[in-house]
Amino acid sequence: MASTSDAGDVEESRTRLCEEFAGLAGTDSGVAQCYLAENDWNMERALNSFFEADMEKVFEEEWISEQEAPTKKHKVEEKAPATRIDLTVDSPSSSQQPSEEDDGSSGLTLITWNVDGLDTENLAERARGLCSYLALYTPDVVFLQELIPPYVQYLKKRAVSYMIIQGSEDGYFTGIMLKKSRVKLLESHIVAYPTTQMMRNLLVAQVTLGDVKVCLMTSHLESCKGQSGERMKQLREVTRQIHEAPDDANVLFAGDTNLRDSEVAAVGLPPAACDVWERLGRQEHCRYTWDTRANSNKSVNYVSRCRCRFDRVFLRPAGRPSAPRLAPDHMALVGLEKLDCGRFTSDHWGIYCSFSATATAAADDAHT
């Protein structure tokens, strides 16, 4: 028979799980308790069950709406063709491997974005907004955080010119999208964070753009001020992976790091790596990616609204002199416009970056 203290521990543990579930799912403790109990108090299975049940209905309504109103949709596209391109209309070569002519000499472009899939309000329209930005910018690589399974299924149907690599199949997770006409996937794997309490990990993909070899990494590091210790532990693992990547490959890490500058200073980046925003001159217009003064998607009860640089991009150029090296050219924030629903694509701004490819190390050495 379980002792009174054991029963108390179980109750305390389950209360804590309910609170965590409610916070992640944006629901109340009663709903949290139902989903957790139905899934043997397994957080990942409970979250996955919740989001599948909720979002399948949302996206199903989206498909029905699109099927029933093709004329209206066509008229909208005529008014704003630059932002309403249907990604199901793929380029002729996008379903194939990159051609020999596409040698990567033009460099690489990327978008990284926490799309806030945990917020189910207007999510179908916000997912459509993301697709509009992908059509507008046509990045070679897209790093996404806070994806959920129905969101991924939506992207697979709309963004058919991209291959999608997932950081998990359950709950919420990260993803990497690769433009099929430009990027060739060599292999991908997931690096676990052993002590995470929020189902976080590091997603890694080895790719090539012609003769430019790139190791892509994305992660959503532990959230909240109180998780600083775990977040820095995860950053140490990220920096280790960057440092140990093959020296003939460029390494690009991008994601929602939740990092504070003091935490980065305490851990440090590998000697050859840089923070792209800093390398490009710390431009103020793209400094804050979490800005509740300007972004109204979340109801913030803080005395003063927050402006933080949570989303970051790190670059470690290839170390081998004969290997083509990437160098940052440009950075800008995306997602600054409200959608028709009156909300933004996400509570985070996305980051767009472009990089040029140089044949030798000489050009990049001038910056170090």
Would you name the residues annotated as active-site residues?
Answer: 256
Is 199 within 8 Å of 44 (Cβ atoms)?
yes
d(CA 274, CA 180): 28
Residues 6+ apart with CB under 8 A from 256: 114, 145, 146, 219, 220, 221, 310, 311, 348
Is 303 within 8 Å of 355 (Cβ atoms)?
no
Q: Residue 12 corresponds to which amino acid?
A: E
d(CA 179, CA 184): 8
Instruction: Count CB neighbours of 201 within 10 A.
Output: 19
Q: Which residue has the tokens 């977040």?
A: 231
d(CA 216, CA 177): 11
Is 351 within 8 Å of 331 (Cβ atoms)?
yes
- The H or E element spanning position 281 is none
d(CA 303, CA 165): 40
Three-class secondary structure of residue 330 per DSSP: strand
Q: Give the number of residues written for the chain.
A: 368
Rounded to 5°, the CA angle 310-312-313 comes to 175
With the C-alpha atoms ordered 149, 222, 284, 105, is the resulting torsion angle positive or negative?
negative
Nearest CA to 165 among 157, 174, 265? Answer: 174
d(CA 203, CA 144): 11
* CA 175 centroid distance within chain: 6
Three-class secondary structure of residue 207 per DSSP: strand
Nearest CA to 156 among 138, 137, 182, 131? Answer: 131
